[in-house]
A = this chain, B = another copy of it.
Amino acid sequence: MAHLHDLTKNQTLVLDALTKWDGPASAYSLLDQLRAQGFRAPLQVYRALDKLIEYGLVHRLESLNSFVACAHPHDHAHGLVAFAICDTCGQVDEFSDETVERRLKGWAKEHSFRLAKTTIEMRGICANCTAQ
């Protein structure tokens, strides 16, 4: 696992932009944001994101085609992560559940499925927006 000081300039810029972003950001949103810092092409963003995801510092939200900074970047031990995404305000809640992880890994083992990555995304309306 790489540490913060191992990040390249582009990776740092992308991670900073994403960390400051309120909610999930698309690669192109990040690109627009980073033009002021000299970014010109989507690939610059995608390459940085790939590495950041590999390092566990960023998550990809498949159902949104967007990205979020990991909420627990120092908790290197976190296994499976799940997301609750509010369709109204866009806020994302990241959490883990031991039981869910155990069950899914159990299924994989039973079926001899060599598990590489698991995506869990819940879509709905958060408490805050429901209260509005």
Interface of A with B (CB < 8 Å)? 62-63, 82, 84, 86-87, 93, 95, 97, 99-100, 103-104, 107-108, 111-127, 130
User: Closest chain B residue to A121 by CB distance?
Assistant: B119
Residues of B within 8 A of A123 (CB): 115-119
Given contacts A100-B104, A103-B97, A103-B100, contact A122 B130 (CB under 8 A): no
Taking a contact as CB atoms under 8 Å apart, the answer to whether B113 and A84 are in contact is yes
User: Closest chain B residue to A129 by CB distance?
Assistant: B114
Given contacts A115-B122, A115-B124, contact A84 B108 (CB under 8 A): yes
User: Closest chain B residue to A61 by CB distance?
Assistant: B62
Give, as a whole number of angstroms, the nearest-CB distance from A130 to chain B. Answer: 5
